[in-house]
Amino acid sequence: MSGAFERFFNITELVGHLTAYLASKDISRLTRTCRKMHTRCTPSLFRTLTRHNSICRQFASTPALLALSRNSQHVRELSLQLYDLVFYYNCLLTFQDINSHLSDTPPTRPSWLPPLDIHAYQFIALPPMTRLSRLTVDVRRSGYCPYKLPSADNPRGTSAQMTWLTSLSPRLTSLSLQGVSIADPDGCRRLEDVIAGLHAIKELKLAIDSRDNMRFAILSRLLFNCPSSLQDLRLDFVRSWTDEDEGEIVVAAARRQQPLINLKELSIRGVRDWNSATDIRSIFAHCPNINKLSLSAFMGYQETDGIEQFISNQCPRMESLDFSCYNSNLSDSFPFRIMNLLPFQQITELAYHGTLFDDSNFKTEVVFQRHSTTLRSIDINGSGPLPKALFPTITKECCNLNVLLISFDTSSDSYIAFDDALQTQ
């Protein structure tokens, strides 16, 4: 290698910048050019393991698994589907069992973990990837597996596997767990304890399967145990728990003392057991710096008087609002009332999904005039008649729009022709 070439590849940061633009196959070719290039480029080859990258190949053969076992310390981003998770979990247990046998000490792992799938496959021992910065697990997608893994059929078992796998990576800055099943207080406690230990976490996305009457308690316990470093939190409750043999299960709600001062984006979807204004206030009282809010209706709580004022006071920096209220008793004007209470010319994005309304006591056009120069994106999707003043006001007042999407149920007799709306320009 020439002198300049040698000096370039002696700088780890430059090698990292270069390989970030290369596909895995190209990095692999570099590693095969000479021994020095193999040493310098191998970490980049294992930096990112995803379904779109190389995780399928890494789990596909014994030589690939052995290579991964030698280079697990280089992995920074890992993305798994159901069978990937269960396979990797079994490889981790195999690694622990071998280590405990060599050291003549029992393996140290939680008692609530499912056992090894001993009859499925001769698993290769893989050490934990303790230096992960980004972990994505989606057990709602199964992927492909050529052999039977019994623990993959147990939602509680796979949720325990996700929780334990997360606990092995304390340096995570981004975590996404899709399809977590929480059926009892113990499952909630284990997950909240693990999240509380992620002191560098900035982005957290959870899609949770639980009973309707447990959701607010789970929300509060997870939110109030998040580290203060968190910047983006998304909690989606995706469906109801259906195990009728469990009986009534109560998860105690939590209260937080210190605000999440770094939290900028908050999304809460699918909570069906908001019981009082206190529940709602307990969430927003500790999120003072939110600039992007995504909500579904406060199901279970009927009175909303004063909630709009409270949220606008507690979150005065809000710039983006996404709200859906299908099949709820919540006033359809809720997000627009929040906009009407925020400072002038502040909202840049609005998404509204629900029943469109025409409230004579509340003029929607005033809201859009209030934020006419800052609005860049408007997405309104709903049923019912379109308020006749809405579209003309938007096209006339919001002069800086980049995106405008308005769709509604056209079965109603109340509508405005598009040509007529454009004439207001």
The 10s digit of each residue's pLDDT in 134-153 is 999 999 887 667 677 888 88
Tell me the average pLDDT across 14-28.
66
Residue 59 in any domain: the answer is no
3-state secondary structure of 405: strand
pLDDT band of residue 414 (cuts 50, 70, 90) is low
Of 76-80, 124-128, 206-210, 272-276, the least confident: 272-276
Decide: residue 250, CB within 10 A, 0-12 exposed, 13-18 middle, 19+ buried.
exposed
In whole angstroms, what is the distance from residue 76 CA to residue 47 CA? 5
In a domain, 78, yes or no: no
The range of the structural domain enclosing residue 336 comes to 326-425
- pTM of the predicted model as reported, rounded to 2 decimal places: 0.85
Q: What is the pLDDT of residues 99-108, one digit of tens each?
A: 888 877 777 8
Whether 418 is in a domain gets the answer yes
pLDDT > 70: percent of the chain = 74
Residue 157 token pair: 């078992």
Nearest CA to 263 out of 291, 285, 235 is that of 291
What is the residue-wise DSSP string for 201-221? --EEEEEEE--GGGHHHHHHH
User: How much is the pLDDT for 425?
Assistant: 47
Distance CA 86, CA 117 (A): 9
**Cα–Cα distance list, 125 to 60, 94, 97, 317 (Å):** 14, 5, 9, 50
Mean pLDDT value across the chain: 82
* Token pair recorded at residue 312: 């606008």
pLDDT at 245 over 50: no
CA distances from 5 to 1, 2, 9, 20, 34 (A): 6, 5, 6, 18, 13
Please identify, among 12, 30, 45, the residue that sits at the C-terminal boundary of a domain. 45
**pLDDT of 165 higher than 80:** yes
In a domain, 57, yes or no: no
Distances (CA, A) of 176 to 133, 343, 420: 12, 33, 46
Q: What is the pLDDT of residue 415?
A: 55
* Domain contains 317: no
The pair of three-digit structure tokens given for residue 206, joined into one six-digit string: 């959870």
Residue 166: partners with Cβ closer than 8 Å, 6 or more residues away: 135, 172, 175, 177, 194, 195, 198
The predicted model gives 308-316 an average pLDDT of 91
Token pair listed for 180: 């977590």
Q: Report CA torsion sign: 118, 120, 124, 127.
A: negative
Q: Minimal CA–CA distance to 265: which of 319, 218, 310, 228?
A: 319
d(CA 21, CA 337): 46
94 located within any domain: no
- Residues 6 or more apart whose Cβ sits within 8 Å of residue 245: none
**253 pLDDT above the threshold of 80:** no
Contact (Cβ atoms closer than 8 angstroms) between residue 334 and residue 362: no
Return the number of other C-beta atoms located less than 10 Å from residue 80's C-beta.
Answer: 26
**What is the pLDDT, as a whole number, of residue 345?**
94
At 235, list the tokens: 């909690």
Asked if the structure places residue 381 within a domain, the reply is: yes
Strand partners, 215: none
| pLDDT score at 286 | 86
Q: Is it the case that residue 331 has pLDDT exceeding 60?
A: no
Q: Is residue 392 domain-resident?
A: yes
Is the model more confident about 83 or about 334?
83
Contact 256, 223 (CB under 8 A): yes
Q: Which two tokens stand for residue 415?
A: 């509508």
**Alpha-carbon span 250 to 239, nearest angstrom:** 18
CA distances to 178, 184, 202, 218, 235 from 254, in Å: 23, 15, 21, 9, 16
Please state the domain count of the chain: 2
Q: Are 224 and 286 in contact (CB under 8 A)?
A: yes
Chain centroid, CA 248 distance in Å:
28
